[in-house]
Amino acid sequence: MQVFGTSNQIQCGTLAAICLLATATADQGFAQSSKAHPWLAEAPGEIVRLVDRGNVKIVVDDERIRKSGKTALTLFQFVVDYDFKFRHQVLGYDQESRVWKAKIMAWIDQPKVRLDHTICIQSNFAPASPWESKLLRHEFDHVAISTDPRMLKIIKRELQQRRQWVGKWEQNGAPTEQDVRKNIFEAITAEVKSLEQLVQSQYDYLDQESNQGLSDINSRKDFFRRLYTVEGLERCKYVFDDGMREFLKEKLSNTASQKEVDGHYLFLTP
């Protein structure tokens, strides 16, 4: 049995929160802009905090919105920098299934997670007071969900868990170190994608409950508190173990955590 280490950066698929439509859809890539939108220079302090936390850009992108058939888009992207270590043991060739098998254990040391957001608007969207616009406020509700402090803790906890599985290869020879590394990279990428999908499901829930931003949410404090709880993750059909269940109950549902969450969403209260 051998121990190896490696460093990687992954940027998983960009997901979109769609305003004024029934569902959110996946998107590829971010809109690009060489300078900040002038509205950001006028943003109130509370919004600036969220802009900084979520690396938010506001861009005019008529073409992207035209192609999507939507009114506005908030795109988010996870960028994860990590070092992983692993142990593996080749188990041999399985004659019945005709695959090579290796037992793998892998874990990540101190993953660094950054979230990037791009809010795409149309060129004809020009409210007199943009920071009082229902549309823009709805888009920042999405940003707040992605940057919820509980979600960031969930991401780091999930990525730092030691995972064990049996890798399988349909090939002529035994799996090499490179084969094992690729298998681990694919597993980590799949994990990040599942976490992105969790956020996407929360985006969809927001759109459902707010009628795509057209209606106010009843009891906003309770709504946002429910997102990253045992019940909230089960509603999103996110698969988690008993350890995560306890983590959600003991670490993310206590008084200190709720106070932090309430403060995170407070500035978005109508």
* Rounded-to-integer distance, Cα 243 and Cα 227, Å: 18
Confidence of residue 268 (pLDDT cuts 50, 70, 90): low
DSSP character at residue 269 = -
pLDDT band at 18 (very low <50, low <70, confident <90, very high): very low
pLDDT in tens, 230-243: 999 999 999 999 99
**Secondary structure of residue 121 in the 3-state scheme:** strand
The whole-number average pLDDT for the span 220-230 is 94
Q: Give the span between the Cα atoms of 139 and 119, in whole angstroms.
A: 7
| Residue 233: its H or E element | helix 230-235
Q: Band of the pLDDT at 267, cuts 50, 70, 90?
A: low
Number of residues that this document lists for the chain:
270
User: What are the tokens at 196?
Assistant: 């992105």
At residue 253, φ and ψ (nearest 5 deg) are: -120, 10
Measured between alpha carbons, how far is 235 from 140 in angstroms, rounded to an integer? 22
Please compute the mean of the pLDDT values over residues 5-26 and round it to a whole number. 37
pLDDT at 203: 92
